[in-house]
Structure 1
Amino acid sequence: MIEEINKVLGVLKKGGIILYPTDTVWGIGCDATNADAIDKIYALKRRQESKALICLVSDFKMLNQYVEEVPEVAYDILKYAAKPTTIVYDQPIRVAENVVADDNTLGIRVCKEAFCNKLIRKLKRPLVSTSANVSGQPSPKSFQQISPEILEGVDYVVNLHQHKKNSSPSAIIKLSQDGKVKIIRK
């Protein structure tokens, strides 16, 4: 795994985009602080830039480095969540502008899956994560269902867990600083 992480880090540090296994589905990713790499993802997915992407962080400490103010309830939600949970936060900071939604929010998930977590820790920055499909197409249920267009459009395909079945996408909850909680996807 360490050798694979080092290969991926090389690609990410050069502004490349990767296809990689996450704690939920196979994702297309890049360094969340690199606007040019994020543009490549939007182009590959043929996705409107008004549709926000999410980011993965390694732990609560990293989460706090990229959100102006994390609401206290977020820690309890994440601690007790039965499945991977993405929380949409107000006022993200220190990420590329084109990864932030028009309403100045950003979905972030603390990723516990071993490969992703180690990769993010070594990168020392959040990793963009979006499903491995062209916008409007169904999300692939396994690596084998990823379209040739996506496979050929990334700079590197992670050579791990390609035979593992995907789990379902994460739950998504929006937490506003005014205390409002909205469930976007269960």
Structure 2
Amino acid sequence: MLHDDNVIAYPTESMFGLGCNPNSKKAIKKLLILKKRSIEKGFILVASDFNQIKMYVNENNLSNKQKQKIFFHWPGPFTFLLPANPDVPYWLTGKFNTVAVRISAHIEIIKLCNAFKGALISTSANISNFTPCFTPEEVLKCFGKDFPLLHGKIGNEKNPSKIINIINGKLIRHV
């Protein structure tokens, strides 16, 4: 399904998310249209381990102290803005020179990324600026009864992941 340029809904730490192959321009286009979202915002990548996101990150621009902070919080509900490799597609970084990445501790995401053998886009299952979906029924109501949906339980987090810019230390999204 994901290798066929499709967008799917799946359970995340706090809500249902929409995801697709981050390297598929066709899938990203579908996702942007579906969410009515600007490409300039970029997307979060979620993975089961660092090796799945390594290709997107310019590790040479990270200090040992920054790496220690990142790995102290992973796996977990923390998304970090890290320096992007120069060849990372614009649709992932948006207008920024960073890539947003999270190593999840949520079993549903771990299983999905491992089955896909890579990182996935992770964005809330909703139309931009509308309430996210918390149940499979809400996903189907929002996107249609034939929408690809991975059933499973959302995690115990009450809010979306915190987003921290590792370069300047600023908290971008706190909840």
TM-score past 0.5 threshold: yes
Kept in 2, the 8 Å contact 1:35–1:97? The answer is no
TM-aligned CA distance change 1:165 to 1:143, over 3 Å: farther
Question: TM-score, normalised to structure 1's length?
Answer: 0.79
What residue identity is the alignment partner of 1:76?
K
- Partners of 1:125 and 1:82 in 2: CA distance: 15
Task: State yes or no: 1:183 paired with 2:174.
Answer: no
Matched, 1:18 2:8: yes
The separation in 1 between residues aligned to 2:29 and 2:44, in whole angstroms, is 14
Aligned with 2:153 (options 161, 167, 178): 161
Partner of 1:45 in structure 2?
35
Taking the aligned partners of 1:147 and 1:165, their CA distance within structure 2 comes to 22
* Contact residue 42 and residue 49 of structure 1 kept, 8 A: yes
Query: CA 1:149–1:112 in 2, change beyond 3 Å: closer, same or farther?
Result: same
1:150 Cα offset (Å): 2.3
Deviations 1:147-179 (A, max 9, x none): 62324574x1112227x7763100100122xxx
Q: Give the distance between the partners of 1:84 and 1:35, measured in 2 at CA.
A: 27
Query: Conserved in 2, the CA contact under 8 Å of 1:90 and 1:106?
Result: yes
- Which one of 39, 43, 46 corresponds to residue 56 of structure 1? 46
Q: Which amino acid aligns with 1:45?
A: K
Residue in structure 2 matched with residue 133 of structure 1 by the alignment: 126
Which residue number corresponds to residue 3 of structure 1? Answer: none
Normalising by structure 2, report the TM-score.
0.83
Runs of 5+ consecutive residues of structure 1 not aligned to the other structure: 1-10
Shifted more, 31-40 versus 109-118: the winner is: 109-118
Question: Hey, what's the Cα distance between the residues in 2 that align with 1:75 and 1:129?
Answer: 24
Extract unaligned runs of 5+ from structure 2: none
Q: CA RMSD in A?
A: 2.5
1:172 equivalent among 145, 152, 163: 163
Equivalent residue number for residue 142 of structure 2: 149
SS at match of 1:157: coil
| Distance in structure 1 (CA, Å) of the matches to 2:136 and 2:26 | 26
Pair 1:90–1:83, CA change in 2 (3 A)? same
Moved over 6 A (4+): none
The 3 A distance-change label for structure 1 pair 121 and 141 is closer
Query: Could you tell me how far apart the structure 2 residues matched to 1:181 and 1:27 are?
Result: 26
2:24 aligned partner: 34
Q: Aligned residue for 1:4?
A: none
Indicate how the Cα distance of structure 1 residues 145 and 79 shifts in structure 2: closer, same or farther if over 3 A, else same: same
Equivalent residues in 2 for 1:94-113 (5 A)?
95-113=88-106
Question: Matches of 2:51 and 2:15 in 1, distance apart?
Answer: 24
